[in-house]
Amino acid sequence: MYKAQISDGEQIECEDYEVGDNGVELYDADGEFMAFVPFTHLLYVGNVTENGQMVW
């Protein structure tokens, strides 16, 4: 699992993501598109361990 940290403080959990030219596309466990986050609003995408710790 991953977590995208947005510049306004929001965090979006996702199962997978793809990096594009202008930002990242976030996907759920079924591979369904959840959100697009432009690089101008993205602080980071980090891995979430089984115990809930962020690793980036």
CA 14 – CA 19 distance, rounded (Å)? 13
The pLDDT value given to residue 20 = 97
The pLDDT value given to residue 51 = 86
**CATH at 42:** 2.30.30
What's the total number of domains in the chain?
A: 1
pTM for the structure as a whole? 0.87
| Domain around 16 | 2-55
| pLDDT at residue 56 tops 90 | no
Q: pLDDT digits over 10-34, tens only?
A: 999 999 999 999 999 999 999 999 9
The pLDDT value given to residue 5 = 94
